[in-house]
Amino acid sequence: MQFLSKTLLVLVVLFAAIEARQGVSSPQVGEKAHTPEAVTAVVEGRFLLPSGEPAAGVFLRLGLIPKSFIAGVPGGRALEVETRSLEDGRVSLQFVPKEGWRYELEAGLAGHASESWRWSSARAGATFDLGEVVLLRSGAIEGEVVDREGRPITAHWQVLVLPQRPTVPQNSKTLRAITPQVRHEAQGDGGKFRLEGLGEGPCRVRLHFDAAGWFDMPDTKVVAGEVTAIQLRYEGPDLRRRIHIQLATRPLSSAWPDLGRVLLRDGEGGWWRPFVSDKVHRGLDFEGLEPGYYRLEIDDPRFEHIRVEDLQPGNGVTRVYLKGSCALRLVVFDAETQDPFDRFDVRLRIERSLFPPLDDPWRSVFGSGNVSRPASVRLHSASQSPLARGYLSGLVPGDCTLLVSAPGFATRYFPLDLEAGEFRILEVPLTQGGEVSGEVVDVRGRPALSGTTVALFVPGEQELLPLDIFFGDELPPPNMLGRGYERAQTRTGTRGSFLMVSVTPGTYLLRAQSPDRRTGIVREVEVIEGRTTRLRCLIESR
């Protein structure tokens, strides 16, 4: 009997371990177990015709789109599941959530405008409620794009139509549908276009040119089952005499060339200086040009020299990628053993990126509410082939912070102030980080909802939003406080447990926030190199 009891105990422990590994648990409040393992999520709703009758046979397709800039997964779209609504208009669509993907749901019925929804994440057992969706009957718009003299513009434009939907009451439990947008790009068809599948009612119309930006056109109205004819007249500068350049800085849009160093030349000794485009982000325009071939030159010492040949007016947009003139050689090694690393991660944090300050000549490109802000970009990943001799090139001069890390070691921060054309050798000793593990529970000892966010903050910054839109999972060094930062962040498992590794030693504040917005805080969390700090965080009870 005693042997049997011990055997049963061992089996129970093994089953619990397997359950934890597979992420299996009883559904939380507001969740539904749609399979015995509760590994799926579900989308539910009901579709109605404009008359209020049930819409049977509505086709639904759920697609997965990779968050490639975060998860590093390949681009593209993976089809997850398809279904149709029942005779009563109701639909129930199950899918298996995946990390590193966002979700897009499309619904359509012949003779009616399509509907779509998007959301950024999903967890097993969750239910996404569409509510009652009233489908609109559809019509079409056709027309042509002409210049101020009425001549067809045959290329380098697109038409965007945005139906003006009536405001539908929403609550926190239903997903809000995306405002449908229908585009048409010029196909060399004499300046004509045709847009179908538009929902009946008023529509906003916008016209976009690669070399001139967006223009608002007169509103129109879609009539169900009919085709509405319109003409879009462009009243701006003559694009046939314009060369438009769109600039981008690698690895990050953090600096712009001196306009006095940008020149356009023809074959007869003529030259032109650019104007900053007032409607196109990072755009330069050369106006009033005669037909022929031109050469673009950018000779700014902060960048590698640029020379682009055979440019012609009226050919839309020419994209030019600038590379910085600075370079680094990284010597990365274990601070304790002196052993070198050949595989490591390198990220660059730039204090001024994306938005120029008020006194910058590029400022006119942006709205008055935009300001300069920090941002980070990955230069190299440990999963890639080792850097040849640790060499990094194409860096833009100016203030920046280099972040170097390796598995099991804390991130090392190096503030840099690079000068134009500088080459520097940088020694990077890495030390072990600490670990923070624990569980998040309520006052009754019940585990928090799966997916509860757990984050470490430098004291005093727990109420600030992360400014770094690329990598929000690191901690700031003291010299970066108050200037945008990165944080250590993770999510709990099905039993409320969490683990953060390779954390830079120091004292932090830990905050947990569950999907239903309940929070808990642990102050004075001490992280020590090579050790694991264990703690328990209590969240508010309902």
d(Cα 486, Cα 349) in Å, to the nearest integer?
10
CATH number at residue 204: 2.60.40.1120
Q: Which of 506, 509, 508 is nearest to 519 (CA)?
A: 509
pTM reported for the whole predicted model = 0.69
pLDDT at 359 over 80: no
Please name the residue that has the structure tokens 């709990």.
Answer: 492
Contact 307, 295 (CB under 8 A): yes
The pLDDT tens digits of the residues spanning 36-62 come to 445 788 999 999 999 999 999 999 999
Residue 1 lies in a domain: no
CATH number at residue 270: 2.60.40
Tell me: do 350 and 382 sit in the same domain. yes
Least confidently predicted of 5-19, 155-169, 268-282: 5-19
Contact 193, 142 (CB under 8 A): yes
Tell me: do 330 and 425 sit in the same domain. yes
**Which domain, by its residues, includes 403?**
326-430
Question: Among 408, 430, 452, which residue terminates a domain?
Answer: 430
pLDDT at 443: 84
d(Cα 527, Cα 410) in Å, to the nearest integer?
11
d(Cα 426, Cα 158) in Å, to the nearest integer?
48
CATH number at residue 69: 2.60.40.10
Question: Among 134, 160, 181, which residue terminates a domain?
Answer: 134
Mean pLDDT of 453-462: 75
Residue 11 lies in a domain: no
Tell me: do 438 and 424 sit in the same domain. no
Using CA atoms, how far residue 218 sits from 78, 197, 207, 215, 234, in Å, is 38, 20, 10, 10, 12
Structural element, H or E, at residue 20: helix 2-22
pLDDT at 179: 59
Regarding predicted confidence, which is higher, 37 or 118? 118
Q: Which of 350, 364, 347 is nearest to 467 (CA)?
A: 350
Residue 26 lies in a domain: no
Taken in order 220, 222, 226, 227, the sign of the CA dihedral is positive
Residue 3 lies in a domain: no
Residue 17 lies in a domain: no
pLDDT at 248: 83
Residue 8 lies in a domain: no
Tell me: do 194 and 259 sit in the same domain. no
Residue 18 lies in a domain: no
Tell me: do 206 and 177 sit in the same domain. yes
The pLDDT tens digits of the residues spanning 483-522 come to 344 567 788 888 889 998 888 888 888 888 888 778 888 8
Question: Among 430, 448, 479, which residue terminates a domain?
Answer: 430
Say what percent of the chain tops pLDDT 70.
74
Tell me: do 413 and 365 sit in the same domain. yes
Tell me: do 269 and 300 sit in the same domain. yes
Tell me: do 76 and 165 sit in the same domain. no
* Alpha-carbon radius of gyration of the chain: 29
Tell me: do 129 and 161 sit in the same domain. no
Tell me: do 102 and 150 sit in the same domain. no
Residue 12 lies in a domain: no
- Please give the tally of structural domains in the chain: 5
Tell me: do 296 and 332 sit in the same domain. no
Tell me: do 354 and 309 sit in the same domain. no
